[in-house]
Amino acid sequence: MPCPNLQIKKNLIREGRAARLLHPWIFSGAISQAPSGIEPGSVVRVTDAAGEFVGYGHFNPLSSIAVRLLSFDEDKFPDNAFFFEKIRDSIMRRRGFPIRSDARRLIFSESDLLPGLIVDRYASVHVVQTLTAGMDRIKGEICSAIAEIDGAETIIERNDCEIRKLEGLEPRKSVLMGKAPEPEAILIHENNFRFELEPFSGQKTGFYMDQRENRAAVASYVAPGMEMLDCFSFSGGFSVYASGAGAASLTLLDESESSLALARRNLSNNPGSAKTTVFIRANAFKALREFRDSRKSFDMIILDPPKFAPSSSDVEKAYRAYKDINLFALKLLKPGGILATFSCSSGFQRQKFFEVLCAASRDAGRCVSIVSSLTQACDHPIRIGFPESEYLKGFILKALD
């Protein structure tokens, strides 16, 4: 199919580099010749400096990521049939994954060769995010494909995210297909637990499915009778698992009242061993200090904060924030206690997070060892050659004193 040609400065293909293994982004500074007058979201044909075909991609002259490569085969132009096939492949791949839940991420952007597209399924509700102009343009076709392949009844768009601004897109929240659930909260089943979530008003697309495997991993360290602090608890996922594993006392801490209310419902929907459950609405930075001042201590602490470093330019600020909460959490840990600590910032790399923990352990005067290294769940895969797709880092630390 004829489409505008865009040339990049580097000579890639003649050097024997397989285009499909290249990083799928082309920055505006890497372009030697770009077509003019092309609408954001159009498909372009990319060639290298020697004129060799690299791939087809979505072009957006407004973004510094000018092209996101979609197809690396000259005969496979990204038309509707191409996207249908890629969407089907992504959904089918998941069917072979070890996911014990009726909620899963069906499409994870570049990691599923569909840059800019995220699709989550919560029981009978599908939630879509089109984060690039290219994907936003074909939203209707995407919905039809999901309905046909995965039997979607209700499709909601949660395009109320900041990142769309970089593509010149407005924030949007709407029902694209079917009827919005009434009442809004829907129920999902994850491992042996039941969770309510709010796909229209909740955080992200409603639930942190990327922590599914980590909730189970952390619960395997719970011993009967433990006192746990679930800091940044949101809908209480870690607490529900811990109570199921024998924890005696739970303290959930979040600055959002609606998140605590949701966590309260999730705990009452999953009868567990916890005898005492305390919900604290507070800023974690302040609350951790207050616990220290009142000499409070815990057998297990979860730290699962929001993104402190949305991009690599925030690394220094994020370092200080991660250091602060990890330092105080280590001070609050009982002898032999467990700290499960996470960073979900893609701009903050695993090595940097490890350095934070070294510094926090030194300053807290606590000797700890890593008993487990954690990452995002299997339906949020990390694409080799695309390091930006690794965003969730976690460690389970055990105090040696």
How far is it, in rounded angstroms, from Cα 141 to Cα 132? Answer: 15
| Cα 144 versus chain centre, distance | 25
Among 141, 153, 160, 255, binds ligand SAH (CB under 6 A): 255
Residue with tokens 């990083």: 23
| Cα 293 versus chain centre, distance | 34
Residue pair 379/209 in contact by the 8 Å Cβ criterion? yes
Residue with tokens 């201590």: 297
Minimum CB separation of residue 266 from ligand SAH in Å reads 9
Nearer to ligand SAH, 233 or 251 (CB): 233
Minimum CB separation of residue 113 from ligand SAH in Å reads 28
Q: What are phi and psi of 337, to 5 degrees?
A: -70, 170
Query: Which residue is catalytic, options 143, 344, 367, 378?
Result: 344
How far is it, in rounded angstroms, from Cα 143 to Cα 127? Answer: 10
Among 159, 235, 243, 266, binds ligand SAH (CB under 6 A): 235
Minimum CB separation of residue 368 from ligand SAH in Å reads 21
Interface map 179-218 toward ligand SAH (x if CB under 6 A): ------------------------x----x--x-------
Minimum CB separation of residue 400 from ligand SAH in Å reads 26
- Give yes or no for residue 258 binding ligand SAH (CB under 6 A): no
Question: How many residues of this chain interact with ligand SAH, rule: CB under 6 A?
Answer: 19
Among 256, 270, 273, 312, binds ligand SAH (CB under 6 A): 256
Nearer to ligand SAH, 164 or 215 (CB): 215
What is the radius of gyration, based on Cα positions, of the chain? Answer: 23
Nearer to ligand SAH, 233 or 349 (CB): 233
| Cα 251 versus chain centre, distance | 25
- Give yes or no for residue 306 binding ligand SAH (CB under 6 A): yes
231 catalytically annotated: no
Does residue 203 sit in helix, strand or coil?
coil
Which residues, other chains included, contact 123 with Cβ-Cβ below 8 Å and sequence gap of 6+? 102, 103, 186, 187, 188
Structure tokens, 255: 């600055």
- Give yes or no for residue 259 binding ligand SAH (CB under 6 A): yes
- Which residues are known catalytic residues? 344
